[in-house]
A and B are shown apart, each in its own frame.
Chain A
Amino acid sequence: MSLPDRTGLSRREYLRAVVAVGGASALSACVAENGETDVPGGTDDPDSLPSRQHAWNDALSTDDDGNVQLPEHHVLLALSLVEDGAPTDEDRETVETSLRTLERAYEWSNEGLVFTIGYTPAYFDRVGSLATETVDLPEPTALTTREDPEPDDFDALLHLASDHAEVVLRAEEALFGDVADVNGVDVDADLSSIFERLDDQRRTGFVGPGLPADHTDTSGVPEEVPEDAPFFMGFRSGFRANQATEDRATITEGPFEGGTTQHVSSMDIQLETWFTQDSHRQRIAKMFSPEHVDEELVGEIGERLSTSSGVTDERIEATAEDARTRGVVGHAQKAARAREDGQPLLLRRDFNTVDGDRPGLHFLSLQREIEEFVRVREAMTGSDLAGNGVGGVLNNGILQYIFVNRRGNYLVPPRSLRALPPGDPA
């Protein structure tokens, strides 16, 4: 992929496009655009960092309502082991050293860098079976009749996130030995002898007010995307009351205690229909619930919602009745039917993308077990509602607008086991 033409793009659009390209030239372009960014440094004391890789919330910023804000720029690096056979202790040390370089270079925060590395079922097949009595990590499969996803069947996925485009780009370069130092820290080891990057699987994206509206030049992104919307679908998301806590998403026993499971699905989003055919009223009904329309709970982009999507127990209970009597049900009310004791099961860290030059979503969620994700997805699919006032997709939440292309399941081990873990560390 070549660098984007600078003309006609805002600074933000350009940086975003540069992250999508990646590599040394992208990094140079980023620095040329912005100058060297002054990024807070990291720590030489690994014990000062959380024992969970996915412990990001305390390190990220929050919005005015106290909801955790994800960093602006995201990169998912698909990694394939270079050598056949089980990794050696030496390999593990190389990986650990390389990851520690990033932690020494950058503060563990949105101003610096946060990251995780997760491993696929294919990886554990290769290194020796996972201790299934403590972690169930199924192969990714189609979860609806409308999809035929490619599985993420490579070995590992690195998720890099920062508010600074330069940081995610430089971190990637450092991991693969393409720079000698990173934020003033020497790069002594890198991953290139262990992992190969799968360039066709490199995924990127963005979060933040206005970022989606920057992409109206992309085919399939209509000008109607609201100016301040943080996500393509036009509404705020990630309300703290609707997110699982990190504790809830964490594995609590066995050798991978302190880890989590991660589901990543990549999908196209049909925004032209959503924004130029559906009305605002219909978008609210389909995204939240018909009651959100009646009670005017949402506002233009969800600004009236503060720390919750406003889906009450009563509204969740009423999902089937809304289908029958209102002819439409909301995505949020449907999916919330999978809550346990009123608590959400998923900690979503998904982000929008224009990978492939069309609008999409890299849906990334953390949960204690993959099976919990599957339950939420089934509730969201709402096949029980089809034919009972809503169609298989028609007026059945937002199903009509999403097209799943890939799915992947991962184990994100605790930090102590993040470097090429064996299947049964005990």
Chain B
Amino acid sequence: MNRRRFFHCAGSVAALAAAAGCIGSDGLGGDPDDADDETDDGIDDDRQVTPDLPEIEDPPDAVYVPTHREAMRMLEPIEAGEYTLAPMLSYPHPFWLVDGRETERVDPDGGPAVHLMFSLWDDETGIVLPVDAGAQIRVEQNGQQVGSPRTPWPMISQEMGFHFGDNVPLDGDGTYTVEVTLPPIGVRKTGALEDRFTETETATFEFTYDEDFRQEVIGGIDYLDEEHWGERGAIEPMEHGHGAHGDDEHGDHHGDGDDDHGDHDDHHGDGDDDHGDHDDHHGDGDDDHGDHDDHSDHGHVPYSSLPPAEDYSGTLLGEPETGDATLVISLLEGDTRLTDGTEPYLLVSPRTPYNRVPLADMALSATIDRDGEELATFDLEQTLDDEYDLHYGAETGLDDAELEPGDTVTITVESPPQVSRHRGYETAFLEMPAVEVEIPEEVSE
């Protein structure tokens, strides 16, 4: 119906052209014959709605460095009951849906739209809440609803970590009001989060979509050095609250660019150093992750970074990788806070490499074997805890038996994280073979 016009910024000059204001469709294609058309929605097609982002051919089946850092407009965080919500707006861009082990790329259609995102965290603990409870958004302009209500996708991105987002079509330039409805969070909650998030809350914010906005977010795209595109690695979390772009440091990314990706520990180690200037966001987690209070101050938006492995109490059984995710596996004994009974609690915390973003909406199960004989097999339940954040856990289910050194624990990924992915995460965390760890000689209490 509305055929829109696209210029093509092909090949290696794409970055330059896009930065210079080329109109594009991000690989959607289009018909150059339409070049003189105007759409009937009041948007002059000479305006740039979507940047023409370069594509990376054949990215690795792993987390990789994208071509650019996304630019966005940060709006003031809004309090809603127990939550604070930080809306962010960018140009519409591709993302990937996941069902099972399949992905489906979503491309913007070239019409006026924003990529609307929000981070959601708990005021009390500062924990970003990385679970899908079915939030809803309703967009209005001048009191008229624009489009149908929608449930934004739970998503992960290297810059924003876990957030909710979607490409939201608009009716053209103007001021829009967005109402966000946050239903109760139904997943298992423990510790200080138990019995919390049981009410529906709403938050409302406004934004203006106009040429200034488009120039700001499209012009603000920060292209990385092309030699790093598609390398294994990740760009650093954005500097929330300090402006989404414009400083000189955000071109940095983790990862060393070589093919030896086998040792994530190096990357985490690097990350700790690199993040020196990000302390307010997650660097302090390394020392004292239990204290999230800093996060909710100063209008900062906390980043959904899980504690590093060494911060988990109990016995660290290992940090194996699968599908480029790291699974921090810990056995908690003598801590019955997370269990009903007296058996040890097996905690598995899957996260992205480099930025330690939690991987939600997975299905994990565990099997315990001794000398090749199965002792127990059980499902792990997705759980939110104020100390351990998002993890999957269960009592070991050994009844009267005790775990012994040499017993093996196999974690099977029945389904990988179903959360949608921004660029650089879409090829990772899909094929995730089972991992095995062993009960060590000494189990700490």
Contact = CB atoms under 8 A, between A and B. Distances in A.
B100 interface: yes
Nearest to B198: A145
A278 B97 contact: yes
Given A273-B166, A324-B379, A394 B150 contact: no
B109 A387 contact: no
A388 B149 contact: no
Interface in A259-297: 268-273, 276-279, 281-282, 285-286, 290
A281 B102 contact: yes
A158 interface: no
A239 interface: no
Band of interface residues on B: 35 or more
Contact of B99 (A220, A327, A387): A327
B147 A358 contact: yes
A224 B106 CA distance: 14
Contact of B100 (A290, A356, A359, A391): A290
A339 interface: no
Contact of A393 (B1, B97, B132): B132
B132 A392 contact: yes
Contact of A327 (B106, B146, B363): B363
Contacts of B365: 324
A219 interface: yes
Given A279-B104, A387-B381, A272 B361 contact: no
Given A269-B148, A282-B99, A325 B186 contact: no
A270 B145 CA distance: 13
Contact of A387 (B101, B149, B187): B187
Given A328-B100, A389-B414, A394-B132, A276 B109 contact: yes
Given A270-B150, A325-B414, A400-B134, A282 B186 contact: no
A282 B97 contact: yes
A146 B97 contact: no
B99 A392 contact: no
B154 A394 contact: yes
A278 to B, nearest CB: 7
Given A358-B145, A393-B132, A395-B99, A327 B151 contact: no
B25 to A, nearest CB: 14
A388 B418 CA distance: 11
A145 B132 contact: no
Interface in B369-389: 379, 381-382
Interface in A362-386: 383, 386
Contacts of B360: 391
Nearest to B419: A394
Interface string B118-142: 0000000000000111101000000
A146 B363 contact: no
Interface in A320-361: 323-328, 356, 358-359
A355 to B, nearest CB: 13
Contact of B415 (A146, A325, A401): A325
B376 to A, nearest CB: 17
Contact of B382 (A219, A278, A328, A387): A387
A324 B151 contact: no
Contacts of B150: 270, 272-273
A403 B97 contact: no
B64 interface: no
Pick from A145, A276, A324, A394 the residue with the most CB of B within 10 Å: A394
Contacts of A282: 97, 99, 104
A395 B379 contact: no
B184 interface: yes
Contact of A272 (B133, B147, B415): B147
Interface in B56-115: 97-102, 104, 106, 109
Given A145-B184, A387-B186, A395 B147 contact: no
B155 to A, nearest CB: 10
Contacts of B415: 323-327, 389
B169 interface: yes
A399 interface: yes
B204 to A, nearest CB: 15
A146 B181 CA distance: 8
A323 to B, nearest CB: 7
A394 B134 CA distance: 7
A390 B361 contact: yes
A139 interface: no
Contacts of B106: 276-277
A223 B415 CA distance: 33
Interface in B1-39: 1
A356 B214 CA distance: 31
A10 B400 CA distance: 74
Contact of B148 (A389, A399, A403): A403
A148 interface: yes
B418 A395 contact: yes
A394 B153 contact: yes
Pick from B99, B101, B362 the residue with the most CB of A within 10 Å: B99
Contact of B151 (A388, A390, A400): A400
Contacts of B336: none
Pick from A146, A271, A399 the residue with the most CB of B within 10 Å: A146
A216 interface: yes
A6 B418 CA distance: 46
Nearest to B2: A223
Contact of B147 (A220, A290, A392, A399): A220
A282 to B, nearest CB: 5
Contact of A270 (B104, B151, B416): B151
A391 B361 contact: yes
B136 A146 contact: yes
B337 interface: no
A391 B183 contact: no
B418 to A, nearest CB: 5
B393 to A, nearest CB: 12
A391 B132 contact: yes
Contacts of A393: 132-134, 151
B188 interface: yes
B342 interface: no
Nearest to B154: A394
Nearest to B133: A392
B4 to A, nearest CB: 13
B200 interface: yes
A216 B131 contact: no
B170 to A, nearest CB: 11
B414 A324 contact: yes
Interface in A393-426: 393-395, 399-401, 403
Contacts of A270: 148-151
Interface in B148-164: 148-151, 153-154
Contacts of B132: 386, 391-394
21 contacts: A145-B184, A216-B1, A219-B146, A281-B102, A282-B104, A290-B100, A323-B415, A324-B379, A328-B100, A358-B145, A388-B363, A389-B361, A389-B362, A390-B361, A392-B186, A393-B134, A393-B151, A394-B132, A395-B99, A399-B151, A401-B151
Given A324-B379, A395-B361, A403-B136, 19 more contacts: A145-B184, A270-B151, A271-B148, A272-B147, A273-B151, A281-B102, A282-B99, A324-B414, A326-B415, A327-B98, A327-B100, A388-B363, A388-B381, A391-B154, A392-B132, A392-B186, A394-B132, A395-B99, A403-B149
Interface of B: 1, 97-102, 104, 106, 109, 131-134, 136, 145-151, 153-154, 166, 169, 181, 183-188, 200, 360-363, 365, 379, 381-382, 414-416, 418-419
Interface of A: 145-146, 148, 216, 219-220, 223, 268-273, 276-279, 281-282, 285-286, 290, 323-328, 356, 358-359, 383, 386-395, 399-401, 403
